[in-house]
Amino acid sequence: MFTGIVEELGVIKSLEVKSNNPAVEIKAVEILS
């Protein structure tokens, strides 16, 4: 369960770094909170 969450967060981090898109970053923050 936790492993899946960590993997998803890793994907989100990768998307943030690759896209540098504010919308992606906002979406990631929503998922984290």
Terminal-residue alpha carbon distance, the chain: 18
Distance (Å) of CA 9 to CA 2, 6, 30 = 11, 5, 12
- Given this model, what pLDDT does residue 2 score? 59
| Six token digits for residue 13 | 């981090």
Flag whether the pTM goes above 0.75.
no
| Six token digits for residue 4 | 């899946």
Task: Round to whole Å and give the CA distance between 21 and 18.
Answer: 8
- Given this model, what pLDDT does residue 3 score? 64
- pLDDT single digits (tens) 1-33: 456 666 777 776 766 666 566 666 667 677 766
